[in-house]
Structure 1
Amino acid sequence: MDVVVVYRANPESLQKVLGLLRKEGFNPTTLENPGSADALHGGGRATYVISIAVPRSEAAGAESILRKWDKARQSEVNKMTGKLAGPFLFSVMAVGVLALVLLLLGILWDAVALLAVAWITVFALAANAEKIKLKTKGSKRR
């Protein structure tokens, strides 16, 4: 049987891609990428990819389905990262102001590590502000 590789997946998304193709009526098979064994032994699992193939007659349809799936996943990622842009900029500005205050006090160089901790804290709080607000409102009702 003549097969065509339509997708290369990491182990975490392999079953999802196979399930999607099977649900759409395709007959996917997995092939191991020849370089994967070396990557698995040397570099770890992060570089390990598995090739997914379908019969040549199904290749165009399978690639179309996978393109749509990738586009939907990418839009989810873009939406999530777009939500983080505001908190990121706010945290950078807040830490910039803190650095300026520490510089004016003459203790900036002694507190450089504090700036990193402050940035992480401010970013985490700003990025999760809506969730924190919902949790605090929920706990007041009880």
Structure 2
Amino acid sequence: MVVVYKANPESVQTVLGLLRKEGFNPTTMENPGSAPVRSGATYLISVTMPREEAAGAKSVLSKWDEARQAEVEQATGKLAGPLLFSIMVVAVLTIIFLFMGILWDNVPLLFIIWLVVFALLAKVVK
């Protein structure tokens, strides 16, 4: 048996299902049900395959990982504009509050304004 992937407990069933759907026979070296019992650092579960199926399984998992990364990049790319705009709004308000002499009293308000502007813009982009 060869380890082809190490998955966190949340995605191990997805990985196993994907490999089974492609006709492979994956197994895990650890019991996925025991993962919540462990505490502390990230706990990874090793997904293993027979040596003769390992190359094909790694190829399938590589394509799956690339697709997931593309989704993440697309989502974070969409949020870059709203993030920058909300930062600019708060920067302008900071300068205005600074000139008015009320900056230090309104720092929590600036954070709330940034949060609201970013959330509204992110919702519009979504």
TM-score w.r.t. the length of structure 2 is 0.91
SS at match of 1:5: strand
Q: Which amino acid aligns with 1:57?
A: E
Instruction: Tell me the distance in 2 between the aligned counterparts of 1:70 and 1:55.
Output: 21
Query: Greater share of helix residues, 1 or 2?
Result: 1
Answer 1 or 2: higher relative contact order, Cα 8 Å, separation at least 6: 2
Contact 2:78–2:125 at 8 Å: present in 1 too? Answer: no
Partner of residue 108, structure 2: 113
Q: Describe the superposition over 1:31-88 as per-residue Cα deviations: whole angstroms up to 9, x where unpaired.
A: 129xx97x923x16xx121110000111100000000000000000000000000000
Partner of residue 69, structure 1: 64
Q: Describe the superposition over 1:97-142 as per-residue Cα deviations: whole angstroms up to 9, x where unpaired.
A: 11011111100011111111111111001111256xxxxxxxxxxx
Give matches, 1:72-111, under 5 Å. 72-111=67-106
- In the alignment of these two chains, the number of paired residues is 123
- Percentage of pairs with the same residue: 65
TM-score w.r.t. the length of structure 1 is 0.81
Partner of residue 20, structure 1: 18
Partner of residue 59, structure 1: 54
The runs of at least 4 consecutive aligned structure 1 residues that moved more than 2 Å come to none
SS at match of 2:3: strand
Partner of residue 135, structure 1: none
Instruction: Tell me the distance in 1 between the aligned counterparts of 2:69 and 2:83.
Output: 20
Instruction: Tell me the distance in 2 between the aligned counterparts of 1:59 and 1:28.
Output: 9
SS at match of 1:26: coil
Where structure 2 has 5 or more consecutive residues not aligned to the other structure, the ranges are none
Where structure 1 has 5 or more consecutive residues not aligned to the other structure, the ranges are 132-142
How big is the alpha-carbon RMSD for the aligned residues of Structure 1 and Structure 2?
1.9
Contact 2:9–2:44 at 8 Å: present in 1 too? Answer: yes
Instruction: Tell me the distance in 2 between the aligned counterparts of 1:116 and 1:13.
Output: 34
Q: Which amino acid aligns with 2:122?
A: A
